[in-house]
Amino acid sequence: MCSKKANVPLEAVDAQVSFSKGLVSPPRSPCDSEGTESTLYVFSDADTGEDSQSHFTLRNGIRAFAVCSILFFVWLVLRHDSMSWRTLFFYHPLFMMIGFVGVLPELAHTIAVFLGRAQSHQSFGDVLNMHRKYALLLKVVCALGIVVIEWNKFSKYKRHFKSWHGIIGGVCEFTMILETIIGLSMYYNVANRYLNGPQLTKLVRIHRYLGFVMMLTGTISMSLGMFTHFATKVCGSLPVQLVFAIIPFIVSLCPFFGL
């Protein structure tokens, strides 16, 4: 049995991969040519040895920064007199912070691995499974945040989608729905029953583009949310608002570009 790890950049996967159990066909590792069982590990060519160690150190640093940002934001909100755990509206920014500051960076990292921008010591199948789980977790958390804000507006007879924060957030949620439908249809072998190879490749790219739009609109909406009346009230100062407006971009774009 061969135990050699293949050093394979993921650009080569783009034309072959559909995110389904039956159609994932990553590049063959050197062990495959010997006719023996092998596990494909995915790495970026530049990230080996000390570079690999520094990469994981940076990843853990981003994770710690994201967790601290969420906890500090929760403390900042709850210290305000009008907010408590029993306040319904509190859970809207909480769920969105968890989704776009906590979960999205992990999802962005799996995308970076697929694009060859980052390395992983896990097999291709494991990274694919993590991608699916983080994507679904992000959708669930954001859906809870949307339910909270819509119920809050409905109960107070407030207008919906009247600000850029709400409009861009609505675009993000709509994109999430389309992306999820396409992704699950490929993962569970529904799409390949009706589409041929080139069509599936196009579907994968559509899934990718929708994911990029989701990340972009989500982080923009999060940033704009830091300048709403609620955020102005609980943050207390413009510098604090600016810091929290920048955080979603930092913690999401760094993993997406392989940092």
* DSSP assignment letter at 23: T
CA distances from 140 to 105, 132, 143, 180, 209 (A): 16, 12, 5, 11, 20
Q: Say what percent of the chain tops pLDDT 90.
A: 46
Q: What residue ranges do the domains of the chain occupy?
A: 10-256
Check pLDDT > 90 for residue 24. Answer: no
Q: For 16-30, 79-93, 215-229, 239-253, which range has the lowest pLDDT when averaged over its residues? A: 16-30
- Give the model's confidence band at 1: pLDDT under 50 very low, under 70 low, under 90 confident, else very high: very low
Average pLDDT over residues 145-170: 88
CA distances from 256 to 108, 117, 219, 220 (A): 5, 8, 13, 16
pLDDT at residue number 55: 65
pLDDT at residue number 14: 43
Check pLDDT > 80 for residue 5. Answer: no
Predicted confidence (pLDDT) per residue in 97-129, tens digit: 999 999 999 999 999 888 888 877 788 889 989
Check pLDDT > 90 for residue 19. Answer: no
Check pLDDT > 90 for residue 253. Answer: no
Task: Note the helical H segments in the chain.
Answer: 50-78, 91-97, 104-114, 124-155, 164-187, 197-225, 229-235, 238-256
CA distances from 54 to 61, 103, 119, 209 (A): 10, 22, 12, 30
Q: Which residue has the higher pLDDT, 125 or 96?
A: 96
Predicted confidence (pLDDT) per residue in 30-64, tens digit: 344 343 333 444 444 444 555 566 667 788 889 99
- Give the model's confidence band at 258: pLDDT under 50 very low, under 70 low, under 90 confident, else very high: confident
Check pLDDT > 80 for residue 15. Answer: no
Which residue in the block uniquely carries the two structure tokens 């990292």?
A: 109
pTM of the model: 0.77
The dihedral sign for the CA sequence 98, 104, 110, 113:
negative
* DSSP assignment letter at 227: T
* DSSP assignment letter at 102: I
pLDDT at residue number 72: 95
pLDDT at residue number 29: 38
Contact 207, 19 (CB under 8 A): yes
Check pLDDT > 60 for residue 9. Answer: no
Predicted confidence (pLDDT) per residue in 160-219, tens digit: 788 899 999 999 999 999 999 999 898 888 888 888 888 888 999 999 999 999 999 999
Average pLDDT, the chain: 80
* The CATH fold of domain 10-256: Four Helix Bundle (Hemerythrin (Met), subunit A) (1.20.120)
Neighbours of 221 (CB within 10 A): 23
Average pLDDT over residues 58-73: 92
- Distance from C-alpha of 238 to C-alpha of 249, rounded to nearest angstrom: 18
